Structure 1
Amino acid sequence: MGNSILYRMPSGIPGDVTRRSHATTEAVMLGATPFASFGIFGKVVSGKLVPIGAGDTAADVYGLLVRAYPTQSSSNAQGAAVPPTSGVADVLRRGYMTVTNNAGTAALNGVVYVRVANAAAGKPIGGIEAVADSTNTIAITGARFMSEADAQGNVEIAFNI
């Protein structure tokens, strides 16, 4: 069967809040710049949430874009839903979330980095990484990996805990 789990359960779906009793989320308006995926860091510009990008610092980080439930449809594979481009969304200000690690090896208490320059294959601007890449990434203050990533690169992080 194609749905067998042979070795390890998946870590989760990117953008999913994993420990809701320890989470603080807020409703925010989305800005004109669309998010590439759920579970990436954003900043507030003119009162609206937009993705972290070139030239940003850890001080600019406001929170993580939360995957609203349900966002999946029969035409989207699990975890493949695209965030809305306007309207209201939730942002995780404090808590635990599943994210996708795009580079490096995530480990318990490891530093979380975000790519802010020089996008590459599999390393988008705003993407989360477990290894510093010169001036292309910034370390996120108060964010830590909670374990190693699963086979798809999904891993839980703690933010502002």
Structure 2
Amino acid sequence: MNMITQKFRPSVNVGTCIGTINTTEAYNAGLVEFEEKVFPPLHNAAYVMFARQRSGEPNFTTKEITLSFSKGLSNGTYDLTPQAHTVRLTFADNSDPANPVIYTQSGGTAEWQYNAVTEVFSGTLKSAVVENHDNDEPKALTIDVTFLVRKKNSAPSSRLRAAR
């Protein structure tokens, strides 16, 4: 890698999202990101955690968790009901890339903390139930994970770390 590439290389997000799907399938995201986004009302401006687990060869398929909390909510525990608009959870199962399955929240809880000084977003999904209704038969999964991630681009670049 040359010096120009190192100078402009984006910072790396340091984050974890580890737990289980349906109490038996391990979930360990290799990519965990945190950012702020604006959604339509009633969710509005929100903190968003995105976690992607990628399988190995030969398929490299993914499973993704997206969890968002409306800004202005206090740190705490929130119910993941289908009607909740301040906390939103989706799970995308791309095990079959030709037929991805998207699940949305229908139960359980999400606990979160955001430290504005350190820009660290952390929490847990406890017995979070997500459902898919693509066919007339609903499919449900349970997600139990713990996550911790620093805000996107808040980690110093490798060049700045080397200068220290």
Task: Report the TM range for the smaller structure's normalisation.
Answer: under 0.3
| Structure with more strand by fraction | 2
TM (norm. structure 2) is 0.27
Which of the two has higher C-alpha Rg?
2
TM (norm. structure 1) is 0.27
